[in-house]
C-alpha cells in the first residue's frame, strides 16, 4: 500500500527515473488518444481534438517548471539535495493525471462540459441532462481523489529528496507548487 503514495523510500533512483520517463511517454500518448491537455502543473482539460506533439510539449513545460522550482526550494532546505531525486519525484507524481485521461473515452467528458458551458452562456441551466450532471459529478470526485494522490506522491518525493523536517519545507513546497502552476500556465500559453 505504501508503494502507491510513497515509492521513493523503496525504489532506487534509476528505477524511479525509468518508471517516470515511461509514465511520461505513456501519459503523452494517452492525452493524444483521449484529447486531453495538461495545460498547467495542476491541470487536465479535455478538448475536441489534440495534436500528437501538444501534450508532450505541455508535459515538458510542466515537468521543467515544477522540477526546477522544487529543486531550488529543496536546495534551501538541504544543500545536498540532488536534482535527479526531485525530477524523479515530479515524473512519478504525474501518474494520477495520466490515469484520468481515459475517462474522456469517446469524448464523453468534453461533450458534457461543452454542453454545460453552452447552457450557461445561453442562460438555459434548466435543460441540463441528468446524465451529464452525473458524469461530471463522478469526474469531480475522481479528480479530487487523484489530485490528492498527486500531492501525496509529490510531497513524499520532495520530502525524501531533501530530507525535509518541520514546517518550513511544507511552506516552501506549497509556494513552489503555486509558482510552478502560474509559470507553466504562462509558458504554455505563449508556446502553443
**Span 8-51, pLDDT tens digits:** 989 999 999 999 999 999 999 999 999 999 999 999 999 989 99
Question: Residue 26's pLDDT is what?
Answer: 97
Quote the cell numbers at residue 69: 522550482
The pTM assigned to this predicted structure is 0.90
Question: Residue 93's pLDDT is what?
Answer: 97
Please classify residue 123 by burial: count the beta carbons closer than 10 Å to its beta carbon, then call 0-12 exposed, 13-18 middle and 19+ buried. Answer: exposed
Residue 65 Cα distances to 95, 104, 141, 179, angstroms: 17, 26, 27, 9
> Does 121 score more than 80 pLDDT?
no
**Confidence band for 174, pLDDT divided at 50, 70 and 90:** very high
Beta carbons of 36 and 55 less than 8 angstroms apart: yes
Amino acid at each position: 500500500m505504501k508503494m502507491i503514495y510513497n515509492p521513493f523510500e523503496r525504489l532506487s533512483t534509476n528505477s524511479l527515473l525509468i518508471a517516470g520517463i515511461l509514465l511520461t511517454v505513456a501519459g503523452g500518448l494517452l492525452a493524444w488518444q483521449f484529447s486531453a491537455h495538461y495545460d498547467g502543473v495542476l491541470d487536465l482539460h479535455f478538448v475536441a481534438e489534440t495534436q500528437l506533439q501538444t501534450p508532450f510539449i505541455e508535459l515538458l513545460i510542466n515537468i521543467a517548471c515544477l522540477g526546477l522550482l522544487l529543486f531550488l526550494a529543496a536546495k534551501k532546505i538541504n544543500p545536498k539535495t540532488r536534482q535527479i531525486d526531485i525530477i524523479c519525484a515530479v515524473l512519478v507524481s504525474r501518474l494520477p493525471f495520466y490515469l484520468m485521461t481515459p475517462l474522456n473515452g469517446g469524448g464523453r467528458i468534453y461533450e458534457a462540459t461543452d454542453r454545460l458551458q453552452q447552457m450557461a452562456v445561453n442562460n438555459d441551466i434548466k435543460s441540463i441532462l441528468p446524465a451529464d450532471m452525473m458524469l461530471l459529478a463522478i469526474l469531480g470526485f475522481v479528480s479530487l481523489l487523484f489530485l490528492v494522490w498527486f500531492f501525496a506522491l509529490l510531497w513524499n518525493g520532495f520530502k525524501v529528496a531533501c530530507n525535509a523536517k518541520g514546517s518550513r519545507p511544507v511552506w516552501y513546497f506549497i509556494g513552489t507548487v503555486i509558482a510552478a502552476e502560474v509559470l507553466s500556465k504562462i509558458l504554455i500559453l505563449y508556446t502553443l
